[in-house]
Amino acid sequence: MEYAVETISLTKIFSDWWGRNKVCAVDDLNFKVQTNEVFGLLGPNGSGKTTTLKMLLGLLHPTKGKALCLGGDATDPKINTRIGFLPEESYLYRYLTAAETLDFYGRLFKLPTKVRKMRTDALLDMVGLKAVASRQVGAFSKGMARRIGLAQALINDPDLLILDEPTTGLDPIGTRQIKDLIIELAKRGKTILLCSHLLADVEDVCDRIAILYGGKIQAEGHVRDLLQRTDKTEITTGHLTHNALSKIEQIMDGEHAEYAVTSPMDKLETFFISIVEKARQQALPTSGAESKTQISDFLTAQAAEKARPAAILDKLVSTSVSSQPSGPAASPQTEQVHPVKTSKDMPADDLLRKLTEDAQPETVSSDREEPVQAQEDEQQAAGDNILDRLTGPSQPKEKQQQKDENGGDSSNA
């Protein structure tokens, strides 16, 4: 079995010019990323994430061990035509314009002029920089540069995408977009290796993660397995009538379950996006990134390329594009389905059925409940005790069944 990424006791020791002062940045690292997997490399600052990626890409030589990408050496042009890389910061030529930047990278892939033009346009559109395409990158804000960096990583429609902290410097919409993009690309059969210390990002998109500390893997596994709590159930619905609610309470009482009923708060992310969306509709001027909330244009552009008989993309795009839902283009971002399949695999299936029968036939959106859990677990992971002490006593709730640290933020059960 060929892995998309494989490291074999990868070790990197930095030493100074005299050979002293050794820093063991990566220590005997072994991990494998399967094809079509979204793999997250987590770890605090200085834990060796970036160093690992650099070795994978051949920018650093391992002191010991081996790093393989797509079954080979990433410096081999045959292999790295299939890799996209977004470095820690977007290191770009400041004197090139946004369009020229993408064009230059496209040329390095020997893309035919037509395809290059098409992808440049589609990518600029996707990252919301179409309006500033002829501005020099040196004049871009950090987030705008980041967006160009991302576009650059996608210019070759890579099979393996390596992202180093993709969301730093991006506004929430950009962050959202990248996450959606990652999910979308994963659906298309691409492999994504990303590293980050923004746990929420990782949790939203990754199938599998490894947590690095001091250059060593401390934990590794499926996000679902690592985070799922089988003793809890979350249900999110639209507005319920008083009648329906009391029926539910009856059922719950019959089950002798402890529960809490509240109306959920909007996540700040959702709120922010809706505000910007409104401003955009009023066509307020901005000199920044346009923050389109859809990523699909680029992908559909690829579909168009594919449709043309001469398109070289045939070979590149592995999954059939026709089966793609045109969803993200048509519907606003926030209703995207998340890949973390927590809700579907919830144990109390019958309970759920009972509930939905009684309630008004509104759609059950799985997206609301999942981020909540995300936050909860995140906070649990980070400094449990302090938060316990701070928030625990101040929010006494009847029928409290959870360690309700995030009670004020959004809660439901």
Partner 1 sequence: MRKIWAVAVNTIKQALRMKIAAVFTVLLLILLPVMGFKMTGDGTLKGRLQTFVSYGLSLTSFLLCLFTIIASIYTLANDLSRRQIYTVLTKPIRRYQLILGKLLGIILLDTILLALFGGIIYAIAVNMPNFIKADEEQLTQVRNEFYTARASLKPAEQDVSADVEREFEKLKKNRQLPNGLEKNLGALRGYKGELRRRIELSKRAAPVGTELLWQFQNVKPQDPNQPLFVRFKYDVAVNPPDLAIYSRWLIGDDRQIRYGTGIKTPIYSIDRKDLIRTFYEIEVPADAVADDGYLVVAFLNVPLNDTVVIFPPEDGLELLYKADTFTANFVRAVILIGLRLIFLAALGLLAATFLSFAVAILLSLSVFLIANTSGFILESFEYVSENISGFYNYIFKSLIELMPQFDKFSASAFLVPGRLLSWSLLAKLALSTVCVKTVLLVLLAMFIFSRREVAKATV
Ligand X SMILES: Nc1ncnc2c1ncn2[C@@H]1O[C@H](COP(=O)(O)OP(=O)(O)OP(=O)(O)O)[C@@H](O)[C@H]1O
Q: By CB under 8 A, is residue 272 in contact with partner 1?
A: no
Specify the residue, 154 or 211, whose C-beta has the smaller distance to ligand X.
211
Site string for ligand X, 335-364 (x = CB under 6 A): ------------------------------
Question: Parallel, antiparallel, or unpaired: how do β-strands 216-222 and 208-213 relate?
Answer: antiparallel
Specify the residue, 111 or 355, whose C-beta has the smaller distance to partner 1.
111
User: 96 is in the binding site of which of partner 1, ligand X, Mg ion, none (Cβ under 5 to 8 A by kind)?
Assistant: partner 1
Binder among 7, 36, 50, 97 for Mg ion (CB under 5 A) = 50
User: 209 is in the binding site of which of ligand X, Mg ion, partner 1, none (Cβ under 5 to 8 A by kind)?
Assistant: none
Stretch that binds Mg ion, among 23-31, 47-55, 114-122, 372-380 (CB under 5 A): 47-55
Q: By CB under 8 A, is residue 85 in contact with partner 1?
A: yes
User: 152 is in the binding site of which of Mg ion, ligand X, partner 1, none (Cβ under 5 to 8 A by kind)?
Assistant: partner 1
Of 282, 333, 296, nearest to 122 by C-alpha is 296
What radius of gyration, in Å, describes the C-alpha atoms of the chain? 23
β-pair partners for 213? 216
CB of 155 to partner 1, least distance (A): 9
Q: By CB under 6 A, is residue 146 in contact with ligand X?
A: no
33 phi and psi angles, rounded to 5 deg: -115, 125
Q: Assign 256 to helix, strand or coil.
A: coil
Among positions 171-200, residues that touch partner 1 (CB under 8 A) are none
Contact in structure between 128 and 81 (CB atoms under 8 Å) = no
The whole-angstrom distance between residue 295's C-alpha and the CA centroid of its chain comes to: 13
User: 95 is in the binding site of which of Mg ion, partner 1, ligand X, none (Cβ under 5 to 8 A by kind)?
Assistant: partner 1
Q: By CB under 6 A, is residue 216 in contact with ligand X?
A: no
Element (H, E) at 160: strand 160-164
User: 100 is in the binding site of which of ligand X, Mg ion, partner 1, none (Cβ under 5 to 8 A by kind)?
Assistant: partner 1
Q: By CB under 6 A, is residue 134 in contact with ligand X?
A: no
Q: By CB under 5 A, is residue 167 in contact with Mg ion?
A: no
Q: Letter for the amino acid at 201?
A: D
Strand order in the sheet with 5-14: 23-33, 5-14, 64-69
The torsion angle over the Cα atoms of residues 50, 56, 61 and 66, rounded to 10 degrees, is 130
Q: By CB under 6 A, is residue 23 in contact with ligand X?
A: yes
Among positions 34-93, residues that touch ligand X (CB under 6 A) are 43, 45-51, 88
Q: Assign 38 to helix, strand or coil.
A: strand
Burial of 117 (0-12, 13-18, 19+ CB in 10 A): middle
